[in-house]
Chains A and B, each alone.
Chain A
Amino acid sequence: MPKLKLPAPPLPDALRPPPPKPGEAPKGGPLEAAREAGITAVDWVDERTSLSGGVRWLLFRKVPKGTNWFYTLGSATMFAFLNQAITGVFLAMYYDPSPTRAYESARYITNEAFLGQFVRGMHKWGSTVMVVLVFLHMARTFFWGAYKYPRELNWIIGVVLLILTMAMSFTGYLLPFDQRSYWASIVGVNINGTGPLLGPYLSDFLLAGPEFGATTLSRFYAIHMLLIPGAIAALIGAHLYLVTKLGTTAPPWLKAEAPDELRRETA
């Protein structure tokens, strides 16, 4: 099958295959065959989707001089979210969001399910890690001035993501359904209620009625595992698209360098 030649952005040197040494025959053998098979499979998909251009656009982009470890805080936040998503899906296999069974199922996960304590711990501590990373990422953006034109929309999306992360922490806190989570949620809902005019109705919405009732827990559960994660995933996609589209900013301590010819002219 003839290979389709797509115009592609240049690969970094490290990923480019080395040219064959002069006088050396092209390599054969099973390793080479496996490599060829992989390339053929990727080509098959790429011929039908043209994805490689987009992937290179996303991954192999130019970054400004002075890029450092602080620029990894956004990715770190995203991986914290992925950790929450994956461990959350598996916790959902054991968890039962009914007021009479929730505590018992959480206890079962912690004490009896194989690796249950570990996975629940990953989810519990991961949530704290995610909130901390969100704030560090936001502080980096703020102190670098990276929220300025043309990145204001990305800042706004980030603020929405921060609020959604907080809503995740709030709804997730109730799910173990022990004394601490019950009373913390009661207090949280009542604080919501102190918003004038709409507050009482917001609390009614959260509790699915005028008081903590039979469907409050399942409502929190549905918001926690279906509504907000979908919104967060979609907004992370938009956030990343804008980062790729607009590029990152150089750290503020780097002064803009004038091109050489301009510098000679002023001197």
Chain B
Amino acid sequence: MADGRRKTPKSKYTADRNIPGAYAGETVTRRRFMTGTAHAAGAIATSAIVLPALGFAVGPLFKKKQVRWEAVGPEADFNEASYVPKVFTDTPGIGEAGKSTVYVRRHNLAIDGPMKDQYDQYVAISTRCTHVGCPVRYAEAAQRFICPCHSSVFDFVGKRLSGPAVRPLDRFYTRVVNGVVEVGPRYSVNSELHRFSPRYPGEPLDGIGQYLYPSRPSMRKL
């Protein structure tokens, strides 16, 4: 008997299903319809508050950082054999916190190989260590960049020699305008010094690293 009942398909009309107060031709009871309407209205009202607030909070993730170039000195200031430290404003409008040091030298064909493009006439190395972002210092005598926090050591072109850092030091695009060297946006490099869009410190770029730590819409390479 139970089997027989299961085989009969249920009618889609509430009147056929013996629901009290059902109207002929009605497929959803009014109570169920009103409950659904109230839930939908609640969901819409909640989203109307939550979605704009959430979008407001995560908005900066999708806003591209403005490309800005800043002069760091005339061409005569720099040479091929050693770095000259220059303080420049990485992020304007926040005072001292927006300033950063950059090590600049002229492109050296013997060390750096042929120039990649017009942004490669000068090499500008970021002082941000690629371990967790402490500021590295260039030791002239050793021709090494050394991080004070966890002793990462980088060679003359910024490649990692030892320590916990995961990739070579970041660089900045450079250009020459009217004999003045300008420093532009940051880019990251892998161990073969191929350019990648800027990554946070601690994110390797060799092998699977470049996919595990994807490029961000807020900062791309030029």
Would B94 and A191 count as touching, CB distance under 8 A?
A: no
* Interface residue B151 (Cβ < 8 Å from any Cβ of A): no
* Interface residue A19 (Cβ < 8 Å from any Cβ of B): no
Would B91 and A212 count as touching, CB distance under 8 A?
A: yes
* Interface residue A170 (Cβ < 8 Å from any Cβ of B): no
Q: State which size class the interface on A falls in.
A: 20 to 34
Q: Which of A134-142, A181-189, A246-254 is near enough to bind chain B?
A: A181-189
Would B200 and A199 count as touching, CB distance under 8 A?
A: yes
Would A200 and B216 count as touching, CB distance under 8 A?
A: yes
With A209-B63, A209-B65 already in contact, the answer to whether A200 and B202 are too (CB < 8 A) is no
Residues of A within 8 A of B219 (CB): 210-211
Residues of B within 8 A of A194 (CB): 200, 202-203, 213
Query: Considering the complex, which residues of chain A in the window 198-232 have a beta carbon less than 8 Å from any beta carbon of chain B?
Result: 199-201, 203-205, 207-215
Residues of A within 8 A of B60 (CB): 204-205, 207-209, 215
A208 to B65, CA, bound (A): 11
Residues of A within 8 A of B134 (CB): 183, 186-187
Measured CB to CB, the closest approach of chain A to B188, in angstroms, equals 11
Among A183, A186, A209, A214, which residue has its beta carbon within 8 angstroms of that of B218?
A209
Among A177, A189, A201, A212, which residue has its beta carbon within 8 angstroms of that of B216?
A201
Residues of A within 8 A of B65 (CB): 209-211
Residues of B within 8 A of A211 (CB): 65, 90-91, 219
Would A210 and B133 count as touching, CB distance under 8 A?
A: no
With A205-B57, A205-B58, A208-B60 already in contact, the answer to whether A182 and B132 are too (CB < 8 A) is no
- What is the number of residues of chain B that contact chain A, defined by CB distance less than 8 Å? 29
Would A190 and B133 count as touching, CB distance under 8 A?
A: yes
A112 to B213, CA, bound (A): 46
A155 to B60, CA, bound (A): 35
Query: Considering the complex, which residues of chain A in the window 85-123 have a beta carbon less than 8 Å from any beta carbon of chain B?
Result: 99-100
Interface residues of B: mostly helix, strand, loop or mixed? loop
Q: Mark B83-101, 1 if CB is under 8 A from A, else 0.
A: 0000000110111011000
Residues of B within 8 A of A207 (CB): 60
* Interface residue A197 (Cβ < 8 Å from any Cβ of B): yes
Query: Considering the complex, which residues of chain B in the window 48-90 have a beta carbon less than 8 Å from any beta carbon of chain A?
Result: 57-58, 60-61, 63, 65, 90
A100 to B97, CA, bound (A): 8
* Interface residue A176 (Cβ < 8 Å from any Cβ of B): no
Which residue from chain A places its CB closest to the CB of B219 in the assembled complex? A210
A203 to B219, CA, bound (A): 13
A197 to B200, CA, bound (A): 12
* Interface residue A196 (Cβ < 8 Å from any Cβ of B): yes
Which residue from chain A places its CB closest to the CB of B90 in the assembled complex? A211
Which residue from chain A places its CB closest to the CB of B149 in the assembled complex? A187
Measured CB to CB, the closest approach of chain A to B201, in angstroms, equals 5
Would A99 and B200 count as touching, CB distance under 8 A?
A: no
Would B94 and A187 count as touching, CB distance under 8 A?
A: no
Residues of A within 8 A of B213 (CB): 193-194, 196-197, 199-200
Would A182 and B97 count as touching, CB distance under 8 A?
A: yes
With A100-B94, A210-B65 already in contact, the answer to whether A193 and B203 are too (CB < 8 A) is yes
Which residue from chain A places its CB closest to the CB of B94 in the assembled complex? A99
With A200-B216, A209-B60, A210-B218 already in contact, the answer to whether A190 and B201 are too (CB < 8 A) is yes
Which residue from chain B places its CB closest to the CB of A193 in the assembled complex? B200
Q: 11 A-B residue contacts at CB 8 Å?
A: A187-B149, A190-B132, A193-B201, A193-B213, A194-B200, A199-B203, A200-B216, A205-B58, A209-B63, A211-B90, A213-B91
Interface residue ranges, B against A (CB under 8 Å): 57-58, 60-61, 63, 65, 90-91, 93-95, 97-98, 132-134, 149, 198-203, 212-214, 216, 218-219
Beyond A197-B214, A200-B214, A205-B61, 10 additional pairs, beta carbon < 8 A: A99-B97, A99-B98, A189-B200, A196-B212, A199-B200, A200-B199, A201-B216, A204-B61, A210-B219, A212-B94
| Shortest Cβ-Cβ A-B pairs, 6 listed | A193-B200, A210-B219, A99-B94, A194-B202, A210-B218, A196-B212
